[in-house]
Structure 1
Amino acid sequence: MYPLRFIFKRNVRILRRCDAMIVKMKFLSISGPRMDIDRVCDKYLSKYEMQLENAVTELKTTDNLLPFVEVNPYKDALAKAEQFAALLSESVEHIDQSMSKDEMLAFIREINHDYLDLQEKKELLNKKENEVRERLNVLEPFSPLDLELHKTMHYKYMKVRFGRIGVDYYKRLEKYLFGDLQAVFLEGTRNENYVYGCYFVSNIDTSKVDSAFNSLHFERIAIPSEFIGTPKDACISLQKQIEDVKKEIEEIDRKIEELVSSHAAKILGVRKRLEELSNNFDVRKMAARTDVGDTKEDYYILCGWMGEGDVQALMEEAKEDDRVFIVVEEDREKFFGDPPTKLKNPRFFKPFELFIKMYGLPAHDEMDPTMFVALTYTFIFGAMFGDVGQGFCLFLIGGLIYIKKKMSLAGIVSIAGIFSMIFGVMFGSIFGFEDVIPALWMRPVDAMTDLPFIGQLNTVFIIAIAFGMALNILVMLFQIVNAAKAHDTENLWFSTNGVAGLVFYGFLVLTIVLYMTGHRVPGNIMMAVFLGIPILIFVFKEPLTNLVEHNHKKMEESKVMFLVQGFFELFETLLSYFSNTLSYVRIGAFAVSHAAIMEVVLMLSGAEDGAPNLFGIILGNIVVCALEGLIVGIQVLRLEYYEMFSRFYKGSGREFKPFNKQSK
Structure 2
Amino acid sequence: MRRLLIAAPKGEIDTVIRELYRHNVYHIEDFVPESEAPEALSIGHPLPGASDAASALIKVRAIENACGIDPDSVEVRAKIPASKVRAMIQTDLPAVQKEAEGLVATRSHLEARQKEHEQRARELEPFAAIPLDLELYRGYMRFTVFTGHIAHDVDLDVPHEKYFSDTVAGNMIVVVVQNEHREEVERKLLDAGFQAIPVPDETGAPADCLKVHVDEAQKIGDEIAAINEKIAGVRERHTDFLVACDELLTADVERAEAPLRFATTEETFITEGWVPDDRADRIREALEKATNGRIYIEELEVEDDAKVPVEYENPSFATPTQVLMDIYARPRYSELDPTLMVAIVFPIFFGLILGDVGYGAILLALSLGLRKIVKGDEGRMLLKVLSYASISSIIFGILYSEIFGSSLPWPALIFSRHLNIGGAAGGHGPQVAELMIVAIWIGILHITLGRILGMVNARRIYHGKHATKAAIANAGWLGTMWGILIMIWAFYAIPMMPDLTGLPVAVMGLNAAAVAGAVLLVAGILGIAQENPLEVVELPTIISHVLSYARLVAVGLSSVAIAMVVNFIAIGMMIQPQLEAITPVGVIIVIFGILVLLVGHVLNTALGLLGGGLHSIRLHYVEFFTKFYKGGGRKYNPFGMKSKFTEE
Instruction: Determine if the TM-score, normalized by the shorter chain, exceeds 0.5.
Output: yes
1:86-117, CA deviations, whole angstroms, 9 ceiling, x for partnerless residues? 45589896575435868735765566567767
1:318-354, CA deviations, whole angstroms, 9 ceiling, x for partnerless residues? 3422256362533235x99621222232232222222
> Residues 285-364 of structure 1: matches in 2 within 5 Å?
285-290=260-265, 292=266, 298-322=267-291, 325=295, 327-332=297-302, 338-364=307-333
Corresponding residue of 2:433 = 458
Corresponding residue of 1:64 = 40
Do 1:386 and 1:421's aligned partners in 2 also have CA atoms closer than 8 Å?
A: yes
| Inter-partner Cα distance in structure 2 for 1:478 and 1:165 | 79
Do 2:399 and 2:413's aligned partners in 1 also have CA atoms closer than 8 Å?
A: yes
> Residues 169-188 of structure 1: matches in 2 within 5 Å?
none
| Inter-partner Cα distance in structure 1 for 2:232 and 2:432 | 74
* 1:26 paired to 2:2: yes
Corresponding residue of 1:17 = none
Q: C-alpha displacement at 1:252, in angstroms?
A: 8.2
Match of 2:499 among 495, 507, 517: 517
Bigger shift: 365-374 or 405-414? 405-414
Do 2:128 and 2:205's aligned partners in 1 also have CA atoms closer than 8 Å?
A: no
* 1:470 paired to 2:445: yes
Do 1:362 and 1:653's aligned partners in 2 also have CA atoms closer than 8 Å?
A: yes
Corresponding residue of 1:414 = 387
Bigger shift: 601-610 or 434-443? 601-610
Corresponding residue of 2:609 = 629
Corresponding residue of 1:579 = 544
Match of 2:527 among 530, 537, 554: 537
| Inter-partner Cα distance in structure 2 for 1:144 and 1:609 | 53
Do 2:306 and 2:333's aligned partners in 1 also have CA atoms closer than 8 Å?
A: no
Name the CA shift for 1:230/1:379 in 2 (closer, same or farther; >3 Å). closer
* 1:652 paired to 2:627: no
Q: C-alpha displacement at 1:498, in angstroms?
A: 1.9
Name the CA shift for 1:396/1:29 in 2 (closer, same or farther; >3 Å). same
Q: C-alpha displacement at 1:492, in angstroms?
A: 4.3
| Inter-partner Cα distance in structure 1 for 2:33 and 2:55 | 30
Corresponding residue of 2:618 = 638
Name the CA shift for 1:58/1:440 in 2 (closer, same or farther; >3 Å). farther
| Inter-partner Cα distance in structure 2 for 1:627 and 1:651 | 30
> Residues 119-158 of structure 1: matches in 2 within 5 Å?
none
Corresponding residue of 2:481 = 505
Bigger shift: 462-471 or 528-537? 528-537
Corresponding residue of 2:416 = 443
Do 2:284 and 2:297's aligned partners in 1 also have CA atoms closer than 8 Å?
A: no
| Inter-partner Cα distance in structure 2 for 1:220 and 1:523 | 92
| Inter-partner Cα distance in structure 1 for 2:432 and 2:230 | 79
Name the CA shift for 1:522/1:574 in 2 (closer, same or farther; >3 Å). farther
- Could you say what secondary structure the match of 1:643 adopts? helix
Name the CA shift for 1:484/1:606 in 2 (closer, same or farther; >3 Å). same
Look at both structures and tell me which one has the larger radius of gyration over its CA atoms.
Answer: 1
Do 1:482 and 1:648's aligned partners in 2 also have CA atoms closer than 8 Å?
A: yes
- Could you say what secondary structure the match of 1:343 adopts? coil
Do 2:144 and 2:182's aligned partners in 1 also have CA atoms closer than 8 Å?
A: no
Q: C-alpha displacement at 1:633, in angstroms?
A: 2.3
Q: C-alpha displacement at 1:67, in angstroms?
A: 1.1
- Could you say what secondary structure the match of 1:386 adopts? coil
| Inter-partner Cα distance in structure 2 for 1:234 and 1:525 | 98
Q: Which amino acid letter does the alignment assign opposite residue 434 of structure 1?
A: S
Corresponding residue of 2:554 = 589
Corresponding residue of 2:407 = 434
Match of 2:56 among 62, 74, 77: 77
Q: C-alpha displacement at 1:48, in angstroms?
A: 1.3
1:596-638, CA deviations, whole angstroms, 9 ceiling, x for partnerless residues? 4444344334459994988355544333332133223222222
Name the CA shift for 1:164/1:421 in 2 (closer, same or farther; >3 Å). same
| Inter-partner Cα distance in structure 1 for 2:571 and 2:119 | 66
Name the CA shift for 1:75/1:535 in 2 (closer, same or farther; >3 Å). same
Do 2:473 and 2:529's aligned partners in 1 also have CA atoms closer than 8 Å?
A: no
Match of 1:50 among 26, 33, 38: 26
Bigger shift: 488-497 or 348-357? 488-497
Name the CA shift for 1:432/1:608 in 2 (closer, same or farther; >3 Å). farther
Q: C-alpha displacement at 1:443, in angstroms?
A: 1.8
Q: C-alpha displacement at 1:371, in angstroms?
A: 1.4
Q: How many residues align?
A: 576
1:569-615, CA deviations, whole angstroms, 9 ceiling, x for partnerless residues? 43x34312222222222323344444444443443344599949883
Q: C-alpha displacement at 1:530, in angstroms?
A: 3.1
Do 2:3 and 2:301's aligned partners in 1 also have CA atoms closer than 8 Å?
A: no
| Inter-partner Cα distance in structure 2 for 1:36 and 1:88 | 40
Q: C-alpha displacement at 1:132, in angstroms?
A: 9.2
- Could you say what secondary structure the match of 1:371 adopts? helix
Q: C-alpha displacement at 1:368, in angstroms?
A: 0.8
Q: Which amino acid letter does the alignment assign opposite residue 587 of structure 1?
A: L
Do 1:26 and 1:328's aligned partners in 2 also have CA atoms closer than 8 Å?
A: no
- Could you say what secondary structure the match of 2:406 adopts? coil
Do 1:95 and 1:266's aligned partners in 2 also have CA atoms closer than 8 Å?
A: no
Name the CA shift for 1:243/1:465 in 2 (closer, same or farther; >3 Å). closer
Do 1:162 and 1:220's aligned partners in 2 also have CA atoms closer than 8 Å?
A: no
Q: C-alpha displacement at 1:55, in angstroms?
A: 2.2
Bigger shift: 527-536 or 252-261? 252-261
Do 1:469 and 1:509's aligned partners in 2 also have CA atoms closer than 8 Å?
A: no
Q: C-alpha displacement at 1:401, in angstroms?
A: 2.3
Q: C-alpha displacement at 1:538, in angstroms?
A: 3.0
> Residues 141-290 of structure 1: matches in 2 within 5 Å?
165=147, 267-290=242-265
Do 2:472 and 2:527's aligned partners in 1 also have CA atoms closer than 8 Å?
A: no
| Inter-partner Cα distance in structure 1 for 2:597 and 2:110 | 61
- Could you say what secondary structure the match of 2:254 adopts? helix
Q: Which amino acid letter does the alignment assign opposite residue 327 of structure 1?
A: I
1:453-512, CA deviations, whole angstroms, 9 ceiling, x for partnerless residues? xxx981122222122111221111100110011235446446675233334434544555
| Inter-partner Cα distance in structure 2 for 1:374 and 1:348 | 8
Name the CA shift for 1:42/1:165 in 2 (closer, same or farther; >3 Å). same
Do 1:26 and 1:306's aligned partners in 2 also have CA atoms closer than 8 Å?
A: yes
Corresponding residue of 1:563 = none
Q: Which amino acid letter does the alignment assign opposite residue 279 of structure 1?
A: E
* Unpaired runs of at least 5, structure 2: 187-195, 420-430, 492-497, 504-510, 578-589
Corresponding residue of 1:104 = 89
- Could you say what secondary structure the match of 1:581 adopts? helix
- Could you say what secondary structure the match of 1:467 adopts? helix
How large is the RMSD of aligned CA atoms in angstroms? 5.2
Name the CA shift for 1:166/1:94 in 2 (closer, same or farther; >3 Å). same
User: Identity over aligned residues, as a percent?
Assistant: 22
Do 2:31 and 2:271's aligned partners in 1 also have CA atoms closer than 8 Å?
A: yes
